[in-house]
Amino acid sequence: MRVVKYVIIGNSAAGIGAVEKIRQLDKSGEITIISSEPHHTYSRPLISYLLQGKTDEQRMKYRDDDFYKRNKCTFLAGKTVTKICPDNKYVELDDKKTIPYDKLLVAAGSSAFVPPIEGLDTVKDKFTFMSLDDARKLQASLGKEKKVLILGAGLIGLKCAEGILDKVKEITVVDLAPRILSSILDDEGARIVQDHLERKGMKFILSSGVKTFDGNTAILDNGASVDSDILVIAVGVRPNTKLLAGIADIDKGIIINDRCETSAKDIYAAGDCTQSVDVSTGQSKIMALLPNAYMQGECAGANMAGADMSFAKAIPMNAIGFFGLHIITAGSYYGDVYTDKKDGGYKKLFYGSDRLNGYILIKNVDKAGIYTSLIRERTPLSSIDFSLICERPGLMAFTKEERVRKLGGADL
């Protein structure tokens, strides 16, 4: 029987998910993982905790040290794929070496977007915050007398701020949006989180952007100026789609179907470089989230190995915390709204057409999984006790048959 050659571009969640699924189904195929980073697979969301001192590089590893050996993978670390040749079925590396494939997975992730701001090249110490190398470089520049300016009050910028707050003199966060975490929170939820961060010492300038830099001075579009010693750029990310330009269909991200196939034969894609259907809206969009990436990787790996698997339950979802304040959001915010602010928490459920569409939870997040399941499964709200779910989420709000299914055959 002919040995199948699998090539995976990318060494994060999607690539790892693919390896593990391939090895479940194909014990003898040749797996080659190519990563432009020189590191063992690691969990990117933990880089802020590395700076905070809450973890170290060993504990950041996404899989054990023997992962590649145990799964019989050839790991090409610090190598970059520069070209894919679908007609002859090989990829070319930056050292001109070629790697043949039968099945190819593009799990190339995303990169930090650096806006073309006038004078940015005059800023001496400037960093992005997407990778372990970014965190190492930023860490080397920190100091108790340093003032930091962070462009971007989204997830990346605020996690960076949390990670370095006690290692610098001052942090100012600037964002064009009128509220922090504007992609995942509403006005009221954002105000709760901003108040919490301000009490910790962070400063915010919102509804403003940087017009120009003059060395270490940022001139804002409202005429104000901010002096800093360190600049962190965290205004957003862009999917790494370039490798498949002219080869497969690309919109904002690489377009994939429910089997994680691209429009090119024997080429799959998964993770942050893709866009797929959000089941809470039916729209095709980028959902750069680790759980989705891993599940897409598994799906791609299964189909690369000859199985028939689909993943059609992707939703926008974020679970994050700042100094002990936990936030989980999922789905899309449209329809009727249920609001609960008891015990200092904040809960908003968005529903309509007999379905839960999305939610925002701040502080009390322990039952978020039930709401997430309702969104992913598109569970008819008429089939459960939705009023009970709103107030006290639990399995007892489901029918007996549904409880048995969710508990794998055991009933409560």
What are the extents of the domains in the chain? 5-110+238-304, 120-235, 324-406
Alpha helices in 152-242 (DSSP H): 155-164, 187-200
Alpha helices in 142-259 (DSSP H): 155-164, 187-200
Give the residue from 184, 150, 142 showing the smallest Cα distance to 320.
184
pLDDT of residue 405: 62
SS3 category, 94: coil
SS3 category, 200: helix
What is the side-by-side strand order in the sheet with 274-278?
A: 254-255, 274-278, 283-285
CATH superfamily of 5-110+238-304: FAD/NAD(P)-binding domain (3.50.50.60)
Q: Do domains 5-110+238-304 and 120-235 have the same CATH topology?
A: yes
pLDDT of residue 136: 96
Q: What percent of the chain has pLDDT over 70?
A: 95
Give the CA radius of gyration of the chain.
23
pLDDT of residue 291: 85
| Residues lower than pLDDT 70 in the chain | 1, 395-412
Q: How far is CA 205 from CA 41, 75, 116, in A?
A: 36, 44, 20
pLDDT of residue 395: 63
What is the C-alpha separation between 382 and 276, in angstroms, rounded?
A: 28
Burial (CB count within 10 angstroms: exposed 0-12, middle 13-18, buried 19+), residue 96: exposed
Distance of CA 58 to the CA centre of its chain: 21
For 222-260, the pLDDT digits (tens) are 999 999 999 999 999 999 999 999 999 999 999 999 999
Domain spanning 324-406 has what CATH number? 3.30.390.30
pLDDT of residue 397: 58
Q: Please check whether the domain covering 120-235 is classified as CATH 3.40.718.10.
A: no
Residue 343 φ then ψ, to 5°: 55, 30
